[in-house]
Amino acid sequence: MDWGALHTILGGVNKHSTSIGKIWLTVLFIFRIMILVVAAERVWGDEQQDFVCNTLQPGCRNVCYDHFFPISHIRLWALQLIFVSTPALLVAMHVAYRRHEKKRQFRKGDQKCEYKDIEEIRRQRFRIEGSLWWTYTSSIFFRLVFEAVFMYAFYFMYDGFRMPRLMKCSAWPCPNTVDCFVSRPTEKTVFTIFMIAVSSICILLNVAELCYLLTKFFLRRSKKAGNPKHQPNHENKEETKQNEMNELISDSCQNTVIGFSS
């Protein structure tokens, strides 16, 4: 059980996402989760052991470490990634619910149902419209909120994104103001800035996707209002082609990710 399990859960959502959504998912897995697992965890691995204070007073180091790092960077990122990935589950659940309804219709032998067999229902890709549009848009909104909240929490807790080399500590039982030294401060600063940059890119992607969905929604509404008879077939064919291309691109990216993580 590891991040690979999250990848399996979210992989199913990929099929029903927009192109920007697929790019977001790829950025999330390659530039955030993989970097966290492969690199960042090693950098923060020996955190407290190598946090050294200029005193022999037992307990001073523990207390100072706890004072300056109420929650470690690496744990905060892990929580951020979990919370940011979770809204996509709402979409997965909604799609599963729709599939379940279609399967029920098919089993009842409903004549409205246009599928030949259950496999076709399982493989079908739903368009983002109607109630699925609302679920999808809410999931992007929640993602944005979680990203912003965590970035702010980071900035607030650590007074910016730099990791200082030296911290002065005077918490009891330290006898007076004591110098404490953080291990690998430059490497930690580099990774912190990297993760913040990728977080910002993800926020931009989410905002772009939100704008795209809203634009599409209003355009569709105005088309319906202006032209009651529109031709869905032509739109469908173009969109299906684009979606197939996007799926091929994202599948090949994800195969690379699976290769790395296994």
Partner 1 sequence: MSWGFLRDLLSGVNKYSTGIGRIWVAVVFIFRLLVYIAAAENIWKYERDEFECNIKQPGCENVCFDHFFPVSHIRLWALQLIMVSTPSLLVVFHVAYRENGEKHHNQKLYISPGKIDGGLLCTHLISLILKTGFEIVFLVLFYKLYNGFKVPRLVKCDIRPCPNTVDCYISKPTEKMIFLYFLVATSCLCIVLNLSELIYLIFKYSIKCYLKRYNKKCQ
Binding residues for partner 1 (CB under 8 A): 1-3, 5-6, 9, 48-49, 57-59, 61-63, 65-66, 69-72, 74-75, 78-79, 82, 85-86, 89, 93, 96-97, 173
- The CA–CA distances, whole Å, from 194 to 40, 102, 190 equal 10, 44, 6
CB nearer to partner 1: give 38 or 204: 38
For partner 1, give the closer residue by CB, 66 or 129.
Answer: 66
Helices and strands, counts by H and E, the chain: 11, 3
Query: In the bound complex, what is the minimum distance in angstroms from residue 199's beta carbon to partner 1?
Result: 17
The pair phi, psi for residue 8, each rounded to 5°, is -65, -45
**154 contacts 87 by C-beta, under 8 angstroms:** no
For residue 117, the minimal CB distance to partner 1 (Å) is: 18
Q: What is the Cα–Cα distance from 216 to 21, expressed in whole angstroms?
A: 15
Q: How far apart are CA 170 and CA 128, in angstroms?
A: 57
Query: Please, what is the minimum distance in Å from the beta carbon of residue 96 to partner 1?
Result: 8
Q: Which is nearer to partner 1, 158 or 217 (CB)?
A: 158
Q: Which is nearer to partner 1, 100 or 223 (CB)?
A: 100
For partner 1, the closer of residues 20 and 74 by Cβ is: 74
CB of 71 to partner 1, least distance (A): 5
Task: Give the Cβ contact number of residue 207 at 10 Å.
Answer: 13
Q: How far is the CB of 62 from partner 1 (least distance, A)?
A: 4
Angle at 182 between CA 179 and CA 183, to 5 degrees: 140
